[in-house]
Structure 1
Amino acid sequence: MIPRRTILSGLAAMTAAGCTPRQPVSTAMTYPIAPPPPDRATMGLDAVIDLSRSVTVADFRAVRRSGILGVIHKATEGGDYLDTAYAGRWPQAEAAGLLWGAYHFGTGQTSGARQAAYFLSVARPGPRTLLALDLEANENNPGNSMRLDQAEEFVQAVAAATGRLPIVYVHPTWANGDPLPNSGLSLGARITPDSPVARCGLWIADYHDSPEVPIGWETTGWRLWQYAGDESVAKPAYGQTNIVQGVSHCDRNLFNGDAGELQSFWGAG
């Protein structure tokens, strides 16, 4: 997600951030960017980006022409913060032929059920809106990170209200309950296969050549893999990549399947 990834990005300091190039990189560029296909192209469909209001969107039609099929946009955080760009961008994206998704950044400030209710009240999902929980360390206030019991309550409340489980965005180190290398922070518990969270589709955040699947999803694997991001002016690749036209920068995600399977997955989670 954007722009809270200093901790997660630090896990892949040797892997540069940016939108995946699909054309030769100019020799004038002095900064590295995410490794290009074919290595990742063989592992999934490179057609999903995630955004928040920190991203400038000039034209969703240009995004679609860049080969992107789906957009997952931040809707809420905690129990009282909403992304003011969410509501206005939704119809624009769908008018451009893009699939639309909404994500909630979980915090520790209130119960998972209350956060789910707030998220749904803002996201107002339709049957084709992908729903997602962003489960990671709260970089700005680590003590306010969402706990596992809150995440379990969140996904169960969303399922009860919509009939669908959200997908869960998480880093493998965080999901396994291990300390993050740079900060020593951890979820404090391991997501096991019998957790309600592990019944959700896995949106793995891992900026390496291939994703590590957490223990909770060992038998099911990942559905989305965020393999690169370009999230702020502090990043060396910021503004250096423009393969996804129509946006100032973006996080890139592979879908574990083809375009037809992506269409089916999007409505079911």
Structure 2
Amino acid sequence: MPNFNGVIDISHHNGNVNLTTAKADGIVGVIQKATQGQRGADPTYARNRGRAATAGLLWGAYHFGTGSDGVRQAENFLGVVGNRAGLLVLDLEPNPTGPSMSLEEARAFVTHVREKTGHFPGLYSGHYIKQLLGTNSDPILAKCWFWLAQYGPTPVVPPNWPTWTMWQYTDGAFGPEPHSVRGIGRSDRDMFNGDETKLRGFWASETS
């Protein structure tokens, strides 16, 4: 089954985006940064959520994890997005401005989201999760669907997951083409492991 290149992830760094134009360029789903740490919130989240709804796009939200209490971070995230915001994701990567989230804090985060929503969130990560786990497995994080960040030609999945569900193949500069989306410009773009019909079914199953 072919991979579907119809998902983007955005944050305030993308500025004033036109999601109607992005839809016309083949985008079907948008995952927006909502929160960071225990108190941070992305100022463009509510605005872009409204724009995505107007454009008829699938919607999701992610939380940038930091080195602090995982349950409190999950509460911050759910307080901003609500329990039925669309796809929910934990972004687990090195924090350039302070301590990075640990495996223990990540487990606490995803478990709390599962308790409150009925679904484990997705886990977005790349070399950081490979560094943290090595050849080991983590049975809690393995319950999260996996969103790989890797800007090379071939996705390499950590042993903790049988495959990737989504693959961020470019950050708008590195990785395979295309790097940009009309209405947004250069941006993170994401493959889905399946066709558009499977993507829509997956999105629905994670938000029901």
Same fold (TM over 0.5): yes
Mapping of 1:29-48 within 5 angstroms?
A: 44-48=3-7
What SS class does the counterpart of residue 91 from structure 1 fall into? Answer: helix
Aligned to 1:183: none
Aligned to 1:146: 101
Aligned residues: 204
Alignment of 1:137 onto 2:137: no
Task: Please say if residues 148 and 191 of structure 1, whose CA atoms lie closer than 8 Å, have aligned partners that are also in contact.
Answer: no
How far, CA to CA, are the matches of 1:268 and 1:192 in structure 2? Answer: 29
With over 3 angstroms needed to count, the CA separation of the structure-2 counterparts of 1:258 and 1:114, relative to structure 1, is same
Q: Deviations over 1:65-85 (max 9, x none)?
A: 000000000000000110010
**Highest relative contact order (Cα 8 Å, sep 6+), 1 or 2?**
1
With over 3 angstroms needed to count, the CA separation of the structure-2 counterparts of 1:260 and 1:139, relative to structure 1, is same
- More helix, by proportion: 2
Alignment of 1:160 onto 2:97: no
Task: Please say if residues 122 and 146 of structure 2, whose CA atoms lie closer than 8 Å, have aligned partners that are also in contact.
Answer: yes
Task: Please say if residues 192 and 198 of structure 1, whose CA atoms lie closer than 8 Å, have aligned partners that are also in contact.
Answer: no
Alignment of 1:258 onto 2:195: yes
Deviation at 1:190, TM superposition (A): 4.3
Aligned to 2:75: 117
What SS class does the counterpart of residue 33 from structure 2 fall into? Answer: strand
How far, CA to CA, are the matches of 2:204 and 2:54 in structure 1? Answer: 17
Alignment of 1:210 onto 2:154: yes
Task: Please say if residues 170 and 203 of structure 1, whose CA atoms lie closer than 8 Å, have aligned partners that are also in contact.
Answer: yes
Task: Please say if residues 66 and 243 of structure 1, whose CA atoms lie closer than 8 Å, have aligned partners that are also in contact.
Answer: no
How far, CA to CA, are the matches of 2:11 and 2:138 in structure 1? Answer: 32
Alignment of 1:200 onto 2:144: yes
CA RMSD for the aligned pairs? 2.1
Alignment of 1:175 onto 2:129: yes
Instruction: Return the match for 2:171 from 225, 229, 234.
Output: 229
What SS class does the counterpart of residue 159 from structure 1 fall into? Answer: helix
Task: Please say if residues 100 and 129 of structure 1, whose CA atoms lie closer than 8 Å, have aligned partners that are also in contact.
Answer: yes
Deviation at 1:223, TM superposition (A): 0.2
Task: Please say if residues 58 and 247 of structure 1, whose CA atoms lie closer than 8 Å, have aligned partners that are also in contact.
Answer: yes
Q: Deviations over 1:197-217 (max 9, x none)?
A: 111100000111111110111
Gaps of 5+ in 1: 1-41, 178-186
Q: Deviations over 1:99-140 (max 9, x none)?
A: 0100000001x21111111100011242x6000000011122
Task: Please say if residues 225 and 255 of structure 1, whose CA atoms lie closer than 8 Å, have aligned partners that are also in contact.
Answer: yes
With over 3 angstroms needed to count, the CA separation of the structure-2 counterparts of 1:86 and 1:206, relative to structure 1, is same
Letter of the 2:201 counterpart = S
- Bigger radius of gyration among the two: 1
How far, CA to CA, are the matches of 1:242 and 1:149 in structure 2? Answer: 34
Runs of 4+ in 1 over 2 A off after TM superposition: 189-195
User: What's the TM-score, normalizing by structure 2?
Assistant: 0.91
Alignment of 1:107 onto 2:66: yes
Gaps of 5+ in 2: none
